[in-house]
Amino acid sequence: MLSSEHAVCVHFKNNNTNSVAIDILDIVINCYLVHFIAILGAFGNSITLIVLYREGFKDTSNIVLISLAGVDLCYLITLSVRKLSCVIYAFDYYSGHIYQLYTYTYVYVIGRLIMFISISHIAFISVERLLAVYCPLKVSTWFTNRNTTAIVMCIYLSWIIIMQPWLGFYRRIEWSFDTKYNHSCPSIVFTDWFTSNMSALSIVGYIVLNSSPCIFCCIITANCCALLYKLRLVAEQRSAMTSMNAKKSDVSVKVSRMLLTVCAVYCLCNVPSCVFYVFHQIFLMSALYQQLSSALRDFEEVLIAVNCTADFVIYTLLSAKFYNSVRKLFVCTRSETPQGLRKKKKKKECSVGGD
């Protein structure tokens, strides 16, 4: 048993300091909006995985995009699982409280880990596309399939190692009798190992958990600006090229524009993370922070979920190849149904009769 000074008993929903507007916003986001976005995002990322997997791993961009779609899908699942506590609260407060404490302790950190891996993928895409337009002759030798796969694996391993103190040694659930509810109640407690190393881990956590989204956003924004400038120059130069060279350049530009849009959407969706970071630094000890921190965190998670969902829409709108692959996927699926097979058989009979 840990001492009471190490215990953090969190009663999320029993917070009388929040205003009615914040409570309503909390219900709308956590009970409805998050799950709606998660369903759409899970569908879109699943289709993306199927389409890109069918195309294979010949293109280095496919390797990164397949991994990104899988990571985004995992984030949406963990977010939806954690936010189910809002639905459970509507039926039973005590069960909802237990569910929220357990998911906050064990699932929340996993969700943050997945978010950092997703951010790193987008940062890698921005760097790779930047080098592709500035050093087109060398980038194919720098980013081979083998090198790209190794970089993606390093992204996973690096974040798992960095987040290890928070994944397994940070907090745990402890049960104790609560006189207020007259039965046993769970509470979140810090482990002895974490409390003994809190000073060092707080510094690392401050840099990694709080600063990373803003740092990555600045890097990706700078890369996007440089990439956009170069694409404008390329567009002006295409008019002076031969038709064959212009066609090859056009394909590369379209890919760069699509991936640039992916990076730009991330930067827009990451603005609340930067705002939350600044808000955390300025108003940490104020009553305003206690009221708005949860709402800002919820809003941040919603926009991250939107970003995870938006990639499928971007690929469909900006890539004719991806759009046609999605159409073929649904056409093939429809033709394999009993009604589709009967229609296909009738068409064959008509064609034979016509001959």
Per-residue pLDDT of 111-154, as tens digits, reads: 999 999 999 999 999 898 888 888 877 877 888 888 999 999 99
Domain that holds residue 182: 4-338
Question: Does 35 have pLDDT greater than 70?
Answer: yes
Contact yes or no for 12/185 (Cβ under 8 A): no
Does 248 reside within a domain? yes
CATH code, 258 = 1.20.1070.10
**156: buried, middle or exposed (CB in 10 Å: 19+, 13-18, 0-12)?**
middle
Query: pLDDT class for 5, splitting at 50, 70, 90?
Result: very low
In a domain, 73, yes or no: yes
Residue 324 belongs to some domain of the structure:
yes
Token pair 């929040």 is found at 18
The tally of domains found in the chain comes to: 1
pTM equals 0.82
Contact between residue 289 and residue 279 where contact means Cβ atoms under 8 Å apart: yes
Q: Where are the alpha helices (DSSP H) in the chain?
A: 20-27, 34-55, 60-91, 93-106, 108-134, 139-142, 145-162, 164-168, 192-196, 198-205, 212-238, 243-269, 271-282, 287-318, 320-335, 338-354
Higher per-residue confidence, 96 vs 355: 96
Assigned domain for 183 exists: yes
Instruction: Tell me what pLDDT residue 294 has.
Output: 77
pLDDT value at residue 330: 82
Instruction: Confirm if 72 and 159 have CB atoms less than 8 A apart.
Output: no
For residue 53, tell me if it sits in a domain: yes
Residue 353 lies in a domain: no
Alpha-carbon gap, residue 171 to 238, rounded angstroms: 57
Please report the sign of the dihedral spanned by the C-alpha atoms of residue 191, residue 197, residue 198, residue 201.
Answer: negative
Q: Which of 185-189, 269-273, 316-320, 336-340 has the lowest mean pLDDT?
A: 336-340
- Is residue 51 one of the residues assigned to a domain? yes
- Give the number of other CB atoms < 10 A from CB of residue 40: 18
pLDDT one-digit tens code per residue, 234-262: 777 666 555 555 555 555 677 778 888 88
Average pLDDT taken over every residue of the chain: 79
Mean pLDDT of 13-29: 71
Within a domain: 351:
no
Unique residue bearing structure tokens 């699942």: 77
